[in-house]
């Protein structure tokens, strides 16, 4: 019997057993039901639910203190950042203490107006990451973000020429070194240029405790002391900034949820000095993140039904193979298709293919319509690019298909449906459950690298940002491995289990 | 009833997998508890609920209990043995009760061993902490109730694989779905209603006021699930052809 005939035979088996077909359809149905159910509403009003969006589409934080002039046409701004200091929250109930958040920022900026979410490029001195060029919220250039650098006084210069903004730094104000250059497509002729300071939500892991109960976040502030600001080009006459000393609404106010929910913000503002300005800010100008600081629902969360759908798929997968042993059908199957590996491969392919198709359809519908249901219900949904959506949908289908193949492999290896089902679910779902409930971060990161649960990384929709400190934990939807890495781990499991099953099938009597 | 009990005991005792499964319940419970204790390597000022951490293994042990429970009745359907059993013990209620009692007795032994081993592992691997009886006794009862839940469901669906799938969906997928629900009130309600999420509340020793459900009330919820499953299984067993 050719392989094509074996495939056809297995397909006929799968499609004609009513329980199996119903099981697979039920798996897809729970994914749809949990993804589209309207009961999962949020209770935020419209203004809270629509954070500012950056030029590249994602939700952004855009809150800082800004002393600026308007610049028409090309031009440049130069200033010396003489000092960068800050205040950090104290977590033992006391007042704030001196200290700098690693991503406290003070420097020069060129921005399209002062509207939240508008295009910008900025060169800045940071708390621990040296001098950096950042633009349009998501881009970040400078020394390796992992390295820790103490802030040193530095001269900074930002030059605009058309769509391009170039950043330079200098230790003495005469010898200049390039930091980088940014292209801001569609930057209008008239922009603002000036000095800014800000400091993000600060959190620290008090200890490596269970769950994240030991973690809290609170606002921090940064104060930049600017000296000798010099502009070249067509600038407006006066520096505009927030009134000094008070706690004004800073330039951009796009910070979503958390930052604004606290009614008493830290003291921010700007004040002129003999030869420059001191600017104190709090907030961040960066991508908005989920997790410790976030508040919106991601498309991954709409796919939570995957965990339940998985159960159905695993049961059908295990029984699809183990069931043959139950009734002795395996002897008939092997009489018809004596090449044992052909039979096993055909089963895995047919099952995987069917599950992939159903999973793809269910996930596509959920990702396409789930966010609409949520928004209609008053919940904020995090931005995900089209490429991310396609990856999450295809990834969910692949995840389900490979898990079905894994269960089939365990079914062939263990020859008992109940054991195969339990082993499959324990290796796929339990590591994830433990990671999001009891285990500390380090242990769960390890668990999600080596078990099949690593493949849930395929559903991660929010990237980790090097330039945003956040507790990137599995509980908040961040996985230790990239999507393809997680897929590879699951694929290796499937290959090993199917390989072992094939070996046993060939060596043992059926 | 005595003969029915004796018959069930003989079946369980002589079927090759059951001893391994009972050893597996204890071994899985102790192994995961020990791993969790090692992972939670907190130093001074540890905020973790240490008695609960030392019983984490119950999360794995319950999966093996589910296999055992599903096999006790489900396996008889897959082999056609059920018809022989019913010929020997025509009182179907009596048959189910005998199975439940034998399962309960054997699971208890394995659960006591697993929970005791976990406690000892926790003593050895975790920072010093007070010994509390409730989570320990509660964990043994938890595993017994999971066994009854599995038995009832297996009697209802008559497929051991399907029953194990349902039990594990209730115990593993439910908490994940409850976590993902954005509406806080609903999330809490799901935690109160889930057999696993409510049942494991019995292990908590810290912040009892902030738990979605009290420790014994939580175990009671699991008890209701087990009772419901048994009643469903019993009704279907009595009404249906075997």
Given A264, A287, A310, the domain boundary residue is: A287
Residue A134 lies in a domain: yes
Query: Nearest Cβ partner of A209 from B47, B71, B179?
Result: B47
Closest CA in chain B for residue A209: B48
Assess whether pLDDT exceeds 60 at residue A210. Answer: no
Q: What is the dihedral of CA B161, B193, A216, B47, to 10 degrees?
A: -80
Task: Take residue A344 and report the two structure tokens written for it.
Answer: 């096993």
Is-contact B105 B148, C-beta < 8 A? Answer: no
Question: How many Å apart are CA A388 and CA A372, to the nearest integer?
Answer: 17
Residue A292 lies in a domain: no
Q: What is the DSSP letter of A207?
A: S
Q: How close, in Å, is residue A44 to chain B by CA atoms?
A: 11
pLDDT, one tens digit per residue, over A351-376 is: 999 999 999 999 999 999 888 887 77
Closest CA in chain A for residue B178: A304
Q: What is the mean pLDDT of residues A285-311?
A: 77
Give A293's contacts (C-beta < 8 A, 6+ positions apart): A201, A203, A217, A258, A470
Question: How many Å apart are CA A403 and CA A306, to the nearest integer?
Answer: 11
Query: Nearest Cβ partner of B40 from A42, A43, A440?
Result: A440
A307 touches chain B (CB under 8 A): yes
- B168–A304: do the CB atoms touch at under 8 Å? no
**A&B contacts, CB < 8 Å:** 141
- B183–A310: do the CB atoms touch at under 8 Å? no
Within 8 A of A41 by CB-CB distance, chain B residues are: 182-183
CATH number of the domain to which A106 belongs: 2.60.120
Residues 213-242 of A with CB under 8 A from B: 213-214
Q: How far is CA A30 from CA A33, A460, A467, in A?
A: 5, 20, 38
Residue A48 lies in a domain: no
- B177–A34: do the CB atoms touch at under 8 Å? yes
Q: How close, in Å, is residue A339 to chain B by CA atoms?
A: 27
Is residue A130 located within the same domain as residue A273? yes
Within 8 A of B39 by CB-CB distance, chain A residues are: 439-440, 442-443
- Smallest Cα–Cα separation from A196: which of A170, A173, A224? A224
Closest CA in chain A for residue B182: A40
B165 touches chain A (CB under 8 A): yes
Mutate to test the interface with A, among B169, B170, B188, B201 (most CBs of A within 10 A): B169
Secondary structure (DSSP) of A21-81: HHHHHHHHHHHHHHHH-TT------HHHH---B-TTSSBEEE--EEEEEEEEEEEEEEEEE
Mean pLDDT of chain A: 82
pLDDT, one tens digit per residue, over A83-132 is: 898 888 776 556 677 888 888 999 999 998 878 888 999 999 998 888 99
Is residue A279 located within the same domain as residue A303? no
Is residue A274 located within the same domain as residue A406? no
B183 touches chain A (CB under 8 A): yes
Query: Nearest Cβ partner of A426 from B49, B60, B160?
Result: B60
Secondary structure (DSSP) of A140-183: EEES-TTS-B----EEEEEEEETTEEEEEEESSSSS-EEEEEEE
- Comparing A56-60, A208-212, B147-151, the range with the smallest average pLDDT is A208-212
Residue A45 lies in a domain: no
- Looking at per-residue pLDDT, the higher value among A352 and A469 belongs to A352
Q: How far is CA A199 from CA A124, A277, B34, in A?
A: 12, 17, 42
The highest-confidence range among A413-422, B36-45, B113-122, by mean pLDDT, is: B113-122
Confidence class of residue A40 from pLDDT cuts 50, 70 and 90? very low
Share of chain B above pLDDT 90, in %: 46
Packed helices A340-376 and A386-414: angle between N→C axes, nearest 10 degrees: 140
Coil/strand/helix, residue B150:
helix
Q: Rg for chain A (alpha carbons), in Å?
A: 28
Question: How many Å apart are CA A154 and CA B80, to the nearest integer?
Answer: 84
Q: What does pTM read for this prediction? A: 0.84
- Smallest Cα–Cα separation from A269: which of A225, A228, A219, A223? A223
Is-contact A153 A107, C-beta < 8 A? Answer: no
Is-contact A367 A325, C-beta < 8 A? Answer: no
Is residue A257 located within the same domain as residue A347? no
Residue A216 lies in a domain: yes
Query: Would the CA dihedral through A263, A265, A267, A271 be positive or negative?
Result: negative
Given A287, A305, A328, the domain boundary residue is: A287
Question: How many Å apart are CA A240 and CA A238, to the nearest integer?
Answer: 6
Coil/strand/helix, residue B239:
helix
Question: How many Å apart are CA A419 and CA B67, to the nearest integer?
Answer: 7
Query: Would the CA dihedral through A62, A68, A72, A73 be positive or negative?
Result: negative
Q: Given this model, what pLDDT does residue A93 score?
A: 57
Give A128's contacts (C-beta < 8 A, 6+ positions apart): A100, A102, A103, A148, A149, A150, A151
Is residue A210 located within the same domain as residue A325? no
Give B85's contacts (C-beta < 8 A, 6+ positions apart): B7, B76, B95
Structural domain for A377, as ranges: 3-40+297-507
Is residue A335 located within the same domain as residue A462? yes
- Comparing A7-21, A189-203, A456-470, B106-120, the range with the smallest average pLDDT is A456-470
Mutate to test the interface with B, among A215, A421, A427 (most CBs of B within 10 A): A421
Q: How close, in Å, is residue A307 to chain B by CA atoms?
A: 6
pLDDT, one tens digit per residue, over B141-187 is: 999 999 999 999 999 998 888 999 999 999 999 998 888 777 778 88
Q: How close, in Å, is residue A406 to chain B by CA atoms?
A: 15
Query: Nearest Cβ partner of B40 from A43, A210, A429?
Result: A210
Residue A256 lies in a domain: yes
Residues 432-471 of A with CB under 8 A from B: 432-434, 436-440, 442-443
Is residue A428 located within the same domain as residue A484? yes
Given A287, A320, A336, the domain boundary residue is: A287
Residue A46 lies in a domain: no
Is residue A97 located within the same domain as residue A125? yes
């Amino acid at each position: 019997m050719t392989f094509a005939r074996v495939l056809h035979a297995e397909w006929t088996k799968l499609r004609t057993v009513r329980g199996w077909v119903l099981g697979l359809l039920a798996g897809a149905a729970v994914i749809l039901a949990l993804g589209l159910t309207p009961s999962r509403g949020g209770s935020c009003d419209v203004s809270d639910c629509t954070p500012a969006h950056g030029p590249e589409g994602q939700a952004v934080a855009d809150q800082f203190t800004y002393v600026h002039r308007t610049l028409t046409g090309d031009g440049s701004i130069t200033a010396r950042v003489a000092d960068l200091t800050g205040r950090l929250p104290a977590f033992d109930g006391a007042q704030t203490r001196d200290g700098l958040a690693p991503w406290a920022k003070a420097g020069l900026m060129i921005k399209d107006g002062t509207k939240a979410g508008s295009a910008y490029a900025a060169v800045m001195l940071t708390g621990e990451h040296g001098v950096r060029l950042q633009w349009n919220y998501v881009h970040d250039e400078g020394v390796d973000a992992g390295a820790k650098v103490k802030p040193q006084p530095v001269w900074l210069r930002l030059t605009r020429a058309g769509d391009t903004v170039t950043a330079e730094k200098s230790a003495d104000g005469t010898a200049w070194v390039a930091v980088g250059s940014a292209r801001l497509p569609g930057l209008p002729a008239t922009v603002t240029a000036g000095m800014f300071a800000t400091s993000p939500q600060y959190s620290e892991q008090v200890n490596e405790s269970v769950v994240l109960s030991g973690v809290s976040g609170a606002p921090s502030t940064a104060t930049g002391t600017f000296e000798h600001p010099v502009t070249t080009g067509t600038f407006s006459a006066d520096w505009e900034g927030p009134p000094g000393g008070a706690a004004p609404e800073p330039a951009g106010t796009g910070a979503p949820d958390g930052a604004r929910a606290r009614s008493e913000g830290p003291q921010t503002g700007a004040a002129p000095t003999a030869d420059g300005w001191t600017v104190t800010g709090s907030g961040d100008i960066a991508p908005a993140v989920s997790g410790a600081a976030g508040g919106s629902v991601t498309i991954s969360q709409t796919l939570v039904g995957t965990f339940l759908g998985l159960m159905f798929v695993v049961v059908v997968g295990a029984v699809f193979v183990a069931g043959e042993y139950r009734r002795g059908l395996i002897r008939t199957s092997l009489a018809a298709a004596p090449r044992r590996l052909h039979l096993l491969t055909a089963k895995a392919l047919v099952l995987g293919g069917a599950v992939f198709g159903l999973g793809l359809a269910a996930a596509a519908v959920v990702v396409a319509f789930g966010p609409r249901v949520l928004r209609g219900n008053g919940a904020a949904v995090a931005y995900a690019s089209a490429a991310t959506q396609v990856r999450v949908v295809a990834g969910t289908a692949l995840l389900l298909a490979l898990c079905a193949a894994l269960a089939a492999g365990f079914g062939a290896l263990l020859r008992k449906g109940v054991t195969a089902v339990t082993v499959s679910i324990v290796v796929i779902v339990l590591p994830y459950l433990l990671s999001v409930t009891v285990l500390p971060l380090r242990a769960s990161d390890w668990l999600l690298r080596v078990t099949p649960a690593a493949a849930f990384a395929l559903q991660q929709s929010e990237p980790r940002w090097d330039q945003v400190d956040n507790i990137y934990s599995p509980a908040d939807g961040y996985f230790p491995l990239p999507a393809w890495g997680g897929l590879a781990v699951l694929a290796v499991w499937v290959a090993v289990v199917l390989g072992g099953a094939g070996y046993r099938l060939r060596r043992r009597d059926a | 009833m005595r003969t029915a009990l004796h018959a069930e005991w003989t079946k369980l005792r002589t079927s090759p997998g059951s001893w391994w499964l009972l050893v597996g319940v204890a071994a899985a419970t102790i192994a995961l508890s020990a791993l969790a204790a090692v992972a939670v390597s907190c130093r001074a000022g540890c905020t973790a609920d240490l008695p609960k951490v030392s019983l984490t293994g119950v999360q794995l042990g319950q999966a093996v209990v589910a296999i055992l429970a599903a096999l006790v009745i489900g396996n008889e359907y897959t082999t056609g043995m059920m018809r022989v059993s019913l010929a020997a013990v025509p009182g179907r209620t009596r048959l189910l009760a005998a199975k439940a009692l034998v399962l309960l007795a054997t699971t208890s032994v394995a659960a006591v061993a697993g929970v005791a081993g976990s406690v000892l592992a926790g003593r050895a691997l975790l920072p010093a902490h007070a010994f509390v009886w409730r989570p320990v006794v509660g964990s043994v009862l938890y595993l017994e109730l999971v066994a009854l839940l599995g038995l009832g469901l297996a009697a209802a669906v008559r497929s051991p694989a399907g029953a194990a799938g349902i039990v594990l969906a209730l115990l593993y997928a439910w908490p994940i779905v409850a976590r993902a629900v954005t509406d806080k009130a609903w999330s809490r309600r799901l935690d109160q209603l889930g057999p696993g999420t409510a049942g494991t509340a019995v292990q908590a020793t810290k912040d009892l006021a902030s738990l979605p459900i009290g420790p014994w009330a939580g175990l009671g919820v699991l008890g209701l699930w087990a009772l419901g499953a048994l009643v469903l299984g019993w009704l279907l067993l009595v009404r249906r052809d075997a």
